[in-house]
Amino acid sequence: MPTTCLLTEADIANKVRRLASEIVEAHPSGPLGFVGIHTRGVVLAERVHQAVTDLRNEPVAYGTVDISLYRDDLDNLGTIPAIKSSDIAFPIDGRNIILFDDVLFTGRTVRAAIDCLMDYGRPSRIQLAVLVDRGLRELPIAADFVGLTHPTTREDHIRVSFTDTDADSEEGVFLL
Amino acid sequence: MITRKDLLDIESLETSEIEFILENAKPFKDLFTRSVKKVPALRGKTVLSLFYEPSTRTRTSFEIAAKRLSADVTNFSVSTSSVVKGESIQDTVDTLQSMKCDYIVVRHKASGVPGMIAEMTDASVINAGDGFHAHPTQALLDAYTFKEILPEMKGKRIVIIGDILHSRVARSTARCFHKLGVEVGFFGPGTLIPDAVPEFIHTFRSYEEAIAWEPDVMYLLRLQLERQKHNFLPSLREYHQTFGITHKRFQALREKGTWIMHPGPVNRGVEVADDVMSYERSLINQQVENGIAVRMSVLFSMQPRVAARALGDSGESSS
């Protein structure tokens, strides 16, 4: 099957800037925290965080979550996942939290990430930012900030490569 | 990568499996600083502790570990159960099998019982100490604690001191350290060092000789007073003077910055002098804390056969 490039490296940079300005518009002030979902959500969160810091006067707290222990399919995985550390070093109580992931698909990862966040405290609000929304939700979950909406079928595979995490391939979002 | 049903000893673990369990223990330890210390990883699973030998620490540690993974925990209390009425292990295990437990944590005074139980059941069996044979989770938590302070383990040195002969801890811990590239030495009363010490272990004839080897960590074994009825030792006082960390030896260790480990519970004034307990390089309390994280990682890493059967479509990972 041919590979289609949905977003190039330059496109991703544009999407990051746009996500950043939308977020700043929605949250011009007040306590805000970004939480990236391992692995590529972390990269997206880092990049948007950097862009937002330039646009916003108040600093934005930043952390990461690993959802392995909150998955609903642990029994069916076959192999035991290597867990990464969740690192949320700031108090999330009463804070606006924006979760970041690279691709929004079934919504199950986001559900797990929300559950994990709730174990850290009670944020005043949780929103979701994604680079690509590919549709096909299995849970009532929607993103608040979206880079690209690209409807797909179940058989499609979307590959996101960031230079930070996928050194051996060029950066971009590809439809396989 | 790890795919196994049971954890019975250290010998059967690949070094990569040991490293995997230790790596995964770190995120579990991070949970302890959260307000909610639990994760739902083993929700709906049942962990049963089957202790044929008394234990408070190991049992509690496993219990907390299982609860922090959201598993349901049940104690099969041997002293008050049908076992005292003469039920065989086979029958007990059949009963537990019918109760659909997913994990069984076993301690028994006879070597090999956990392995025997593992063959009888679909549940994952975790050895919490069997006879003089093995105590793998103790070895793993010792390795984790060591690695926390000395991340580059290769070429580091540890001396294990005490009653090696009767110690499943020494057996498992020495092997575990050896697999991770740490050099291991034994020192203890001649009557309590086994005749067949594996080649990779150095043995020392005196405390001075052990110290001259420049170990990074001194690991004191608990002198199991209940097992010293056969005149292996002249007296506890003499044991302390010859094999213990006395006040005077402690001063020298402190100057060198040598770390101290002990699997607990400590006999004060026997293995170590009182002041060792408040030593800033004593890792005894860290060992207890890390024990929970490592046991969480162990429980999380084992795969009961029940779960494997439900493995129909491994499914594409969802985003």
Q: Which of B40, B303, B315 sits opposite A73 (nearest CB)?
A: B315
In chain B, the percentage of residues whose pLDDT exceeds 70 is: 92
What was the ipTM of the complex prediction? 0.83
Does 3.40.50.2020 match the CATH number of domain A12-71+81-152? yes
Contact predicate B32/B51, CB 8 Å: no
Question: Inter-chain contact A101–B30, Cβ cutoff 8 Å?
Answer: no
Q: What residues of B are in contact with residue A86 (Cβ under 8 Å)?
A: 27, 30
Strand partners, A65: A37
**Which of B39, B46, B148, B319 would best serve as a mutation to test chain A binding (most A beta carbons within 10 A)?**
B319
**Which of A80, A118, A173 would best serve as a mutation to test chain B binding (most B beta carbons within 10 A)?**
A80
Residue-level pLDDT at A6:
95
Question: Inter-chain contact B40–A106, Cβ cutoff 8 Å?
Answer: no
Q: The tokens of B226 are what?
A: 């209940």
In chain B, the percentage of residues whose pLDDT exceeds 90 is: 74
Residue B29 makes CB contacts below 8 A (sequence gap 6+) with B289, B290, B293
Q: What angle do CA B134, B139, B141 make, to 5 degrees?
A: 140
Strand partners, B7: B126
* Residuewise pLDDT in 10s, chain A (176 residues): 578 999 999 999 999 999 999 999 999 988 999 999 999 999 999 999 999 988 888 889 999 999 999 998 888 877 888 999 888 989 999 999 999 999 999 999 999 999 999 999 999 999 999 999 999 999 999 999 999 999 999 999 999 999 988 888 889 999 98
Confidence of residue B33 (pLDDT cuts 50, 70, 90): confident
Q: What is the mean pLDDT of chain B?
A: 90
Q: Which residues of B touch A (CB under 8 A)?
A: 1-3, 20, 23-24, 26-28, 30, 34-36, 38-41, 69, 300-301, 303, 307, 310-315, 318-319
Confidence of residue B228 (pLDDT cuts 50, 70, 90): low
Residue-level pLDDT at A85:
85
Residue-level pLDDT at B319:
46
DSSP element (H, E) containing B107: strand B103-108
Distance CA A130, CA A100 (A): 6
- Domains, chain B, with CATH or none: 15-134+289-307 (3.40.50.1370), 136-283 (3.40.50.1370)
In terms of C-beta distances under 8 Å and separation of at least 24 residues, what long-range contacts does B241-245 make, across chains too? Answer: B242/B189, B242/B207, B243/B161, B243/B162, B243/B187, B243/B188, B243/B189, B243/B207, B243/B271, B244/B220, B244/B269, B244/B270, B244/B271, B244/B272, B244/B273, B245/B218, B245/B220, B245/B271, B245/B272, B245/B273, B245/B276
Cα dihedral across residues B223, B225, B231, B234: positive or negative? positive
Q: What residues of B are in contact with residue A108 (Cβ under 8 Å)?
A: 318
Strand partners, B187: B161, B204
Q: How many CA atoms lie within 13 A of A20 on its CB side?
A: 20
Residues 9-48 of A with CB under 8 A from B: none
Question: Inter-chain contact A119–B39, Cβ cutoff 8 Å?
Answer: yes
How far is B289 from chain A, CA to nearest CA, in Å?
Answer: 17
Residues 41-80 of A with CB under 8 A from B: 66, 68-70, 73-80
**Which residue ranges make up each domain of chain A?**
12-71+81-152
Q: How many CB pairs under 8 A join A and B?
A: 78
**Which of A69, A130, A176 would best serve as a mutation to test chain B binding (most B beta carbons within 10 A)?**
A69
pLDDT in tens, B113-155: 999 999 999 999 999 999 999 999 999 999 999 999 999 999 9
Q: What residues of B are in contact with residue A83 (Cβ under 8 Å)?
A: 24, 27-28, 300
Q: Which of A75, A115, A119 sits opposite B307 (nearest CB)?
A: A75
Distance CA A64, CA A41 (A): 9
Q: Is the pLDDT of residue B306 over 70?
A: no
How far is A129 from chain B, CA to nearest CA, in Å?
Answer: 13
How far is A106 from chain B, CA to nearest CA, in Å?
Answer: 6
Residue-level pLDDT at A1:
56
pLDDT in tens, B70-119: 999 999 877 766 676 777 888 889 988 888 999 999 999 999 999 999 99
Q: Which of B3, B35, B307 sits opposite A120 (nearest CB)?
A: B35
Q: Is the pLDDT of residue B307 over 50?
A: no
CB-count exposure of residue A90 (10 Å: 0-12, 13-18, 19+): middle
Question: Inter-chain contact B41–A115, Cβ cutoff 8 Å?
Answer: no
Strand partners, B50: B76, B106
